[in-house]
Structure 1
Amino acid sequence: MKKILLVLLLLSIPCFSQEIALLKYNGGGDWYANPTSLPNLIKYCNANINTRIKSKPRTIEPNSPDLFSYPFVHMTGHGNVVFSDSDVTNLKKYLSGGGFLHIDDNYGMDKYIRKEIKKIFPNNDLLEIPSSHPIFQKPFVFPNGLPKIHEHDGKRPQAFGIFVENKLVLLYTYECDLGDGWEDAEVNNDPFEVREKALKMGANIINYIFTN
């Protein structure tokens, strides 16, 4: 039933304003990092790719039944993440039923989040997403895949995904930090070109969710 409701929700998105959400998780990590990033991404998408997303994202916990009201949930932070058994059950139902989770490593999350993703999908490997995937193709083309926004450890940026029935349902962006690029310009003092690149990639993610 929840899967049917989520599918109906996604089909009706073009007709009215939609909401997206930020995941408030346990474990001690700063889930609240980058407070201006989602509002800025929403503003950019509404202005450039004809979305009608409400300007203020909601905050949602992973075990909440309200999770199914949001077609896109964003998660970020620098530290520890712990999903309880009820979190895992709810997240798996949400993602298997048509929901989408974007996890953006804000630097320091990687060693924690990988084991938590494995709890949700123990039989699925995190696969690196090739630059040929539709998420990198429209509405903005990223011929080399995920852009590099912040230096972190100097490694190349990588986009990993969990696929359910050949559909990308979980996107994990590593060594990239899209969320920092979405923040207000004065927060990280990123040049316009870097911020625009991050916002365009974010718009591609939103577009993928709403059109696939």
Structure 2
Amino acid sequence: MRTFCFTLLISTLGISTLFAQEVAVLKYDGGGDWYSNPTALPNLVSYCNKNLGTTFSNDVKTVEAQSIDIFQYPFIHMTGHGNVVFSQEQIENLRNYLLSGGFLHIDDNYGMKPYLEKELVRLFPDKQLTELSANHPIFSSYKNFPQGLPKIHEHDGNRPQAMGIFHENRLVLLFTFESDLGDGWESPEVHNDPEEVRQKALDMGANIIKYVFTN
């Protein structure tokens, strides 16, 4: 099993310098549009570099679930609308990645949940998605969200939920549902969201990034 070696310097105000770190988008099988929201993660990277002092590469890569390259990225983002299928090889590679220090953020762009849940059972048959309470530190690591995950897009009108999978008390996987953070990270002209909505999405994204790299 591979073990990540992350170099992180923390100042009293938060992240001061983050060396040689990159984030990536996960490409998966099944027909779901893993490539949706193409401007989302690059925009979040720029926001974090400006406001958290990170030095992520603006050239956000795509990585496949079965690739050994997955171990180069301490933070991987996954999104889409439809079907998600992992082969057994991909399941084992993802599990090794997460158990050896990696982090996967899955943001349901709408309609992803029923397909994803069956694959998560295969990924961690002995673990369950657990909803994070509003006082979890992921909601206050950069900006405070006292009600928990913000609502960015209406979708079915249900309340937004942030659910996680933990291993040895470490959050290894975050699933955000009925929020659509990625749409809020996209460039303004894509969805014409009000600036205050985009700001909430970016702030929550920065919360996730800061939490992952400081815990």
Q: TM-score, normalised by structure 2?
A: 0.94
CA distance in 2, matches of 1:57, 1:150: 24
CA change 1:91–1:18 in 2 (3 A) is same
Instruction: In structure 2, give the amino acid aligned to 1:30.
Output: D
Cα root mean square deviation, aligned: 1.3
Structure (1/2) with the larger strand percentage: 2
- Secondary structure, in 3 states, of the residue corresponding to 1:9? coil
Following superposition, the deviation at residue 118 of structure 1 comes to: 1.1
> Which residue is equivalent to 2:31?
28
Correspondence 1:54 to 2:78: no
CA distance in 1, matches of 2:195, 2:179: 16
Following superposition, the deviation at residue 18 of structure 1 comes to: 1.7
Contact 1:10–1:71 (Cα < 8 Å) also in 2: no
> Which residue is equivalent to 1:108?
111
CA distance in 2, matches of 1:17, 1:57: 13
After superposition, what is the alpha-carbon deviation per residue over 1:140-177, rounded to whole angstroms, capped at 9, x for unaligned? Answer: 10100000000000000000000000111100000000
Following superposition, the deviation at residue 112 of structure 1 comes to: 0.3
> Which residue is equivalent to 1:174?
177
> Which residue is equivalent to 1:204?
207
Following superposition, the deviation at residue 209 of structure 1 comes to: 1.1
CA distance in 2, matches of 1:177, 1:143: 18
Q: TM-score, normalised by structure 1?
A: 0.96
After superposition, what is the alpha-carbon deviation per residue over 1:52-93, rounded to whole angstroms, capped at 9, x for unaligned? Answer: 100021100011111011010000000000010001000000
The answer for unaligned runs of 5 or more in structure 1 is: none
Q: 2:187 aligns with which of 181, 184, 188?
A: 184
Contact 1:78–1:106 (Cα < 8 Å) also in 2: yes
CA distance in 2, matches of 1:129, 1:10: 28
> Which residue is equivalent to 2:134?
131
Runs of 4+ in structure 1 over 3 Å off: 10-15
Correspondence 1:159 to 2:156: no
CA distance in 1, matches of 2:7, 2:144: 24
The farther-off stretch of 16-25 and 165-174 is: 16-25
Instruction: In structure 2, give the amino acid aligned to 1:103.
Output: I
The answer for unaligned runs of 5 or more in structure 2 is: 10-14
Q: Percent identity?
A: 62
Instruction: In structure 2, give the amino acid aligned to 1:161.
Output: G
